[in-house]
Amino acid sequence: MRIAFVDALRQLEDTGDAAVTLWENNTKRVVLLAPEDNYTQEPDSQNEMYIVMSGCAEVQYKDKIIDLDSGDYLFVPAGTWHKFINATKDFMLWKIIA
């Protein structure tokens, strides 16, 4: 399966929301996420993987703050609280839940 970034971006813009689900199958999902500053992610019952497509931000993760830049990958184990902070206006991520 292929999801073109330009098509995903168009869908996100059409919704006007911070996130759009692009594919879903049973317990797996692919989401394009453009979080605003101070965007809290509720702990998910599944593992979450993020790939930064553009921009940069920090993530509060467990007891530390991690810098995220374009091209970075972040793995968040199931049940882990995390929050994106200090995001640039162009900050955008693929979010894969599996």
Strands 28-33 and 92-97: antiparallel
**Domain span including residue 81:** 5-97
- CATH code where residue 85 lies: 2.60.120.10
Query: What is the number of domains present in the chain?
Result: 1
Select the more confidently predicted residue: 62 or 86.
Answer: 86
How confident is the model over 26-61, as pLDDT tens digits? 999 999 999 887 787 778 899 999 999 999 999 998
How confident is the model over 75-93, as pLDDT tens digits? 999 999 999 999 999 999 9
Q: Is the pLDDT at 68 greater than 80, yes or no? A: yes
How confident is the model over 1-14, as pLDDT tens digits? 899 999 999 999 99
